[in-house]
């Protein structure tokens, strides 16, 4: 695990040299604190957080990342005030409507992990339209975790595995929401918190972890390059010597 401040010194040769990370996941934390520090409504922090998502998605393809998974709305987020949840749903709809053409043009495949069908019907309709439109794309996979909790995911996967026969690590893994994605290589959390918050617990078993104090709305592609440079310097033994 590494915790950093926010110097940007990304490796300019990272794209050419290759960092080896196929699948990167990010816990996008700090929107509310970003807004509070500036005496702004939390909704403004969430809006700036969406802008950070755009920057990262656009940059990820050029960095050679095959899959980018973003923790957008957890199963626990339903406990937030109703007006904040409504703001988040509105942002999600605007993001899909404004960015779907760009996804399609750049070969980005949208994937949802979690139970997005618990969302309002108009949100579900937009999501399913976006999934259908990008299903054939072969570029970077953007997986967005919506109404997602890792413990729930593992329980669902184990139940499906049991219905088919033996329960083993392999049969459970085959039923996870991420089963069609590369193994998780690098998990990043912003805002200075050092915990996984029920995100990709199974997938993170041998992932490298990278924590930064940078609040999510301030997270730039250069910060991602910094994390990838750290990853490239790690020796991954997967329990061996």
Contact 140, 66 (CB under 8 A): yes
Query: How many domains does one find in the chain?
Result: 1
CATH code of the domain containing 195? 3.40.1180.10
% of the chain exceeding 70 in pLDDT: 91
Count how many Cα atoms sit within 13 Å of the Cα of residue 105 in the half-sphere of its side chain: 6
Q: Verify whether residue 152 is a known catalytic residue.
A: no
Model pTM score: 0.89
34 located within any domain: yes
60 located within any domain: yes
Average pLDDT value for the chain = 90
Question: Would you place residue 236 in the very low, low, confident or very high pLDDT band (cuts 50, 70, 90)?
Answer: confident
The confidence score (pLDDT) of residue 234 equals: 83
237 located within any domain: no
87 located within any domain: yes
Tens digits of residue pLDDT in 6-52: 333 334 434 443 678 999 999 999 999 999 999 999 999 999 999 99
80 located within any domain: yes
161 located within any domain: no
Q: Which of 77, 106, 137, 198 is catalytic?
A: 77
Question: Would you place residue 235 in the very low, low, confident or very high pLDDT band (cuts 50, 70, 90)?
Answer: confident
Name the residue range of residue 77's domain. Answer: 2-7+22-149+179-232
Mean pLDDT, rounded, for 143-159: 97
Tens digits of residue pLDDT in 155-168: 999 999 999 999 99
Tens digits of residue pLDDT in 46-91: 999 999 999 999 999 889 999 999 999 999 999 999 999 998 999 8
The confidence score (pLDDT) of residue 61 equals: 84
Question: Would you place residue 240 in the very low, low, confident or very high pLDDT band (cuts 50, 70, 90)?
Answer: low
Contact 30, 215 (CB under 8 A): yes
Exposure string over 205-231, b if 16+ CB within 10 A, otherwise e? eebbebbbebbbbbbbbebbbbbbbbb
**DSSP conformational letter for 131:** H
Structure-block tokens of residue 11 = 């490796």
Q: Verify whether residue 77 is a known catalytic residue.
A: yes
70 located within any domain: yes
71 located within any domain: yes
């Amino acid at each position: 695990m590494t915790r950093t401040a926010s110097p940007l010194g990304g490796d300019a040769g990272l794209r050419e040299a290759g960092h080896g990370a196929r699948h990167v996941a990010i816990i996008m934390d700090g929107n509310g604190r970003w807004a509070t520090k500036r005496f702004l409504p939390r909704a403004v922090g969430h809006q700036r957080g969406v802008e950070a998502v755009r920057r990262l998605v656009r940059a990820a393809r050029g960095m050679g990342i095959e899959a980018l998974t973003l923790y957008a709305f957890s199963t626990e987020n339903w406990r937030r005030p109703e007006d904040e949840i409504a703001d988040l749903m509105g942002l999600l709809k605007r993001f899909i409507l404004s960015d779907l053409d760009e996804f399609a043009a750049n070969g980005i495949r949208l994937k949802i992990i979690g139970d997005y069908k618990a969302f309002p019907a108009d949100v579900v309709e937009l999501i399913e339209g976006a999934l259908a439109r990008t299903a054939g794309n072969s570029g970077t996979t953007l997986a967005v975790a919506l109404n997602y909790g890792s413990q729930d995911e593992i329980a669902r996967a184990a139940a499906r595995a049991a219905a088919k026969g033996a329960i083993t690590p392999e049969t459970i893994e085959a039923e996870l929401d991420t089963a069609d994605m590369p193994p998780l290589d690098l998990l990043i959390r912003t805002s200075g918190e050092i915990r996984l918050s029920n995100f990709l617990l199974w997938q993170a078993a041998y992932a490298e972890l990278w924590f930064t104090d940078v609040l999510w709305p301030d997270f730039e592609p250069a910060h991602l390059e910094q994390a990838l440079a750290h990853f490239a310097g790690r020796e991954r033994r997967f329990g061996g010597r």
